[in-house]
Amino acid sequence: MVFAFRREPDLWFLIGSPTVWALHFLACYVLAAVHCEKAGAGFVSIAPVRVWIVGLTAVALAFVFVSGLQAWRHWGFGANQPPHDADSPEDRRRFIGYAALLISALSFVAIAFTALPVLFITDCR
C-alpha cells in the first residue's frame, strides 16, 4: 500500500514512515527489555540484542528511504516549490508528496536516534 508505486497518494502515505519508526522502536525496546528481564538484569551482556537491533535498523531505514523516494516522486522531484495551495489534483498530490517526504526525513532521523544507544550501552545494568 505505502510502498506500491502508485500514482495517486492518499492520507495513508503520510503515516507510512512514522509507522515504521513505531514498529522499529517497539521491537528494539521489547527485545532489550525481555532479554534483560529474563537474564535477571545486572551486568549481563546484550550482544545478541545489539546485533538484532543493528539488523532491524538497517531494514527500517531502507523502508523509510524507499518511502521517501516514493514521496519525492509524488512531489515531482522538487520541480515545483511549495506552498502547493492550488485547487488542483496535481497540487494535492505534490502537497502529500512533500509532506510525506518531510515526515520520512524525520522518521529517518528518529530511527537513527533509536539505534544510537547500542553503540554506548553493552549490558543490562
Partner 1 sequence: MTAGHATPPAPDPTLRAEQERRLDKAWETPRGWRYWSAVNNTQVGLWYTGTAFIFFLFAGVLALLIRVQLAVPDNTLLSAQFYNQVFTLHGTVMMFLFAVPILEAVAILLMPAMYAARDLPFPRLSAFGFWSFFIGGVFVCGSIFFNAAPDTGWFMYPPLATDVKQSGIGADIWLLGLSFIEIASIAAAVELIVGVLKCRPPGMRINLMPLYGWYVLIVGGMILFAFPPLIAGDILFEAERLLNWPFFDAKRGGDPLLWQHLFWIFGHPEVYIIFLPSIALLAMIVPTFAQRPIVGYAWIVLAAVGTGFLSFGLWVHHMFATGLPSISLAFFSAASEAVAIPTAVQIFVFIATIMAGRLIFAVPMLFATGALAIFTFGGLTGVMVALAPFDWQAHDTYFIVAHLHYVLIGGMLFPLIAGVYYYFPVAADRMLSPRPGKIAFWLMFVGFNVAFLPMHFTGLRGMPRRVFTYPEGFGWEWLNLVSSVGAFVFAAGIAIIVIDVVRTALGAPMRERNPWNAGTLEWLLRRPQKPWQTRTVPPVSSRYPLWADPELARKTDEARYYLPDAEEGKRETLITTTLDGDPVQCLRLPGNSFKPMCAAIFIGGSFILTTFHFYRGSLVSGVIGVAIILWWLWTGTAIIPEKRTKDVGVGLKLPLYVSGSDSVGWWAMLITMLADMSAFFSLIFGYFFFWTIHEDFPPAGVDAPGVLWPGIAAILLIAAWAVMPLAKRLNARGSAAGLRAMLAVNALLSALGAAALLSAPYVTGLEPTQHAYPAIVWVLVLWAAAHAALGILMTLYCFARSFAGLLTREYDIDIHNVVLYWHFAAITAAVTVATIVLFPLASGG
Partner 2 sequence: MLLGAGALWTWVLATTWYAARTSPERHNERFASSLILWAGAVFPTAVLSALLTYGLWLTADLRGPGDGLSIAVTGEQYWWRVQYRSDDGVPVESANEIRLPVGERVEFFLNAADVIHSFWIPSLGGKLDMIPGRSNRLVLHATRPGVYRGVCAEFCGRSHALMAFPVVAMERAEFDRWLEGQAAAAEASKERGAELFLAQGCGACHAVRGTEARGAIGPDLTHLGGRRTVGAGIFDNTKENVARFIRETETIKPGSRMPSYSMLSPQDAEAIAAYLGGLK
**79 lies in the site for partner 2, by CB under 8 A:** no
Chosen residue from 56, 71, 82, 94 binding partner 2 by CB under 8 A: 82
Span near partner 2 by CB under 8 A; candidates 2-10, 52-60, 86-94, 117-125? 117-125
The entry of partner 1, partner 2, none that residue 84 binds, CB within 5 to 8 Å by partner kind: partner 1
Q: At what angle do helices 47-75 and 12-39 cross, to 10 degrees?
A: 180
**74 lies in the site for partner 1, by CB under 8 A:** no
Chosen residue from 2, 56, 67, 98 binding partner 1 by CB under 8 A: 98
Question: Nearest Cα to 99, choosing from 5, 1, 4, 18?
Answer: 18
Identify the H or E element spanning 96: helix 89-115
Q: Report the C-alpha gap between 72 and 65 in whole angstroms.
A: 10
